Copies of this chain bind each other. A is one copy, B any other.
């Protein structure tokens, strides 16, 4: 049966896929981690020290980013190093900044 909502239903799985990626970035700690990884790879212990949370918490955040395909890990010795898998994340945030700037200008009106 044809309904008006078909476009949405047809796109749904693709929308969900994209949502999974965006959701992974929708947390301050994970955002911070991504920005830190833009500078180069980091081990879990370094990130944990920077974030100041329990190491298990940071590990879980990294797991979310990994499952979203945003980072990849590399075990060397008894440490695990994480790095960005996709380089365009910076542009990605450019747009978020535009939104924030637009809000700031709005506030000045």
Q: Mark A29-64, 1 if CB is under 8 A from B, else 0.
A: 101100000000000000001111000000000000
Nearest 9 Cβ contacts at the A-B interface: A5-B52, A15-B28, A92-B95, A88-B95, A69-B103, A23-B26, A4-B49, A22-B26, A26-B26
Residues of chain A at the chain B interface (Cβ within 8 Å)? 3-5, 7-9, 11-12, 15-19, 21-23, 25-29, 31-32, 49-52, 68-70, 85-86, 88-89, 91-100, 102-103, 106
Identical subunits present: 2
Shortest distance from the beta carbon of A20 to any chain B beta carbon, whole Å: 9
- In the complex formed, the residue of B with least CB distance to A68 is B99
Residue with the greatest number of chain B CB neighbours at <10 A, chosen from A68, A85, A98:
A98
